[in-house]
Structure 1
Amino acid sequence: MLQTLTTKMMYDHQRIHPAPDVEAQSLPPPSPPQSASKPLIPTNLEKSDSVNHQFPPPPTRTLPFSYPPPRRPTKRRHSCCCRVFCCIFCLIIFLIIAIGATIGILFLVFHPKIPKYSIDSLMVTQFSPDAANDSLTASFAVNVTAYNPNKHISILYLHGSHLSAWYRDTLLCEGALPVFYQGHRNTTVINVPLTGTVNNATGMVATLQQDQSQRGNIPLVLTANVPIKIKLGLLKTMKLRFKVHCDLTIDNLVANQDIRVSSSNCKIKLRRLF
């Protein structure tokens, strides 16, 4: 046991024990940081700066405030006029389209054809020059053949027609077609009397005799303005006016003699629409 105690004392003597830090025990404990305990700017300084150093007021606007100009009433008038103009234009376009569609349907249903005219015969009842008065009195009786080739269209010839006979640029005589009704696919022969007086006829008579002696025939022109109405079944159109132009060639202009019409070519076209 004595030996064991001696061994323990020797072991404790050889162990290294840490020595206490004398400088650490003599220094005071570290103080906490200033940022945690004390503000960087004193409170009394902040109050004084906020009182003494105020921000300047914002700048005020010295320019006068401009208001937008009021709307002019002319703009509204212009807009209203434009609307009215657009409505009228659209209405006109609609009417044109409707009329065109109606005419197209009528053409497809009735298949209208232009009537044909011809001069079959011409009789001179009077052709007497007057050398004392330098005038010429002429009277013709013209047989006009009118043919309506339409199957479902009839023609009404109205008052106000005019038929005239011309030699070159000189009007010889004139008359009018009678009022009559022509049914579908009908041929009508009309006898039209023409009368007239030519003044300053000496030069015209000399030219006429020269044509007859050199060419053997005399050219005449018959023109007609004919007002008509077309009947489509139970529907009647408005008044139409046609112009007929016929070129004739006859052998002579002697009164009360047989006059042969060697050629007759008539053309018809629409002249006026009422």
Structure 2
Amino acid sequence: MKRILSLIFLVLICKFTFAQRFHLGVFGGLAAYNGDLTDKIFPRKVTNGAIGITGNYEITDNFMLRAGFTFARVGGADRFSDDTVRQARNLNFETAITEFSLVGQYYLLNLYDNKFTPYAFAGLALYRFNPYTYSGSTQKVYLRPLGTEGQGIPGYGREYKLTQLAIPFGGGVKYAITNNLHLGLEGGLRVLFTDHLDDVSGNYADPADLLAYRSQLSVDLAYRGDELPGGAPTSPGKNAARGGSKYKDFYYFTGLHLTLRINNNNAWNGSGNSKSVRCPQVY
């Protein structure tokens, strides 16, 4: 009986030790957003880059916990829209995004017995954004303090938070270059709980309120149709639709994710092949 219990204990310890391996990763690719200032997927003129690092903890050969830090930049502009109403509004924005995420990643096939496998991931992310635009051609102006839709002004909505939660999910295909070096081609979407990533969501504020509680710059950047040749000189007026709050904004990435396994336990067998390191089986 003691021998059986000892063997079971050995198997459990072995599983815990050898089935959990650490991988370091780097990510590089493209980033874009969808919302009130663009509804196209990876629009050519406002698609930017994304870079990131990851730490990956292998629970089993098919399941991994992945923590990641990603930096990206996204933006949108009415001038690139096919919608003439949006073109007449003439708004634009950009924002840097810094994101920390923790996801579970599942491989359909394990990469120690197969060269390729599809995979999927989902989890939780904390991200920070801060939308800005340019007044004229050079002056960078952050939009949140301007309250362009009256946020923070009596009679209007509250100011939106710049640090928020998101739900990341996605998937891809991963290739085992070696047992320790894996390359994935993946895409990931972030579901947001805000419609203000682009600073556009609801209705126009009264320009008089913006001027009284904010500044002339707030009035100027809340509506920019007057900057266009022949554009309407003033905003459509208080409570006229400026954006659409029914659907939240979202941002997304696609790119390559390269991971290197650090703790491969090769010292136990000297072969350089993790597949030769196996736990004893109990029958």
TM-score (norm 2): 0.31
Hey, which of these two has a bigger chunk of helix by percent? 1
TM-score (norm 1): 0.32
- Larger RCO, structures 1/2 (Cα 8 Å, 6+ apart): 2
- Which protein shows a greater Rg? 1
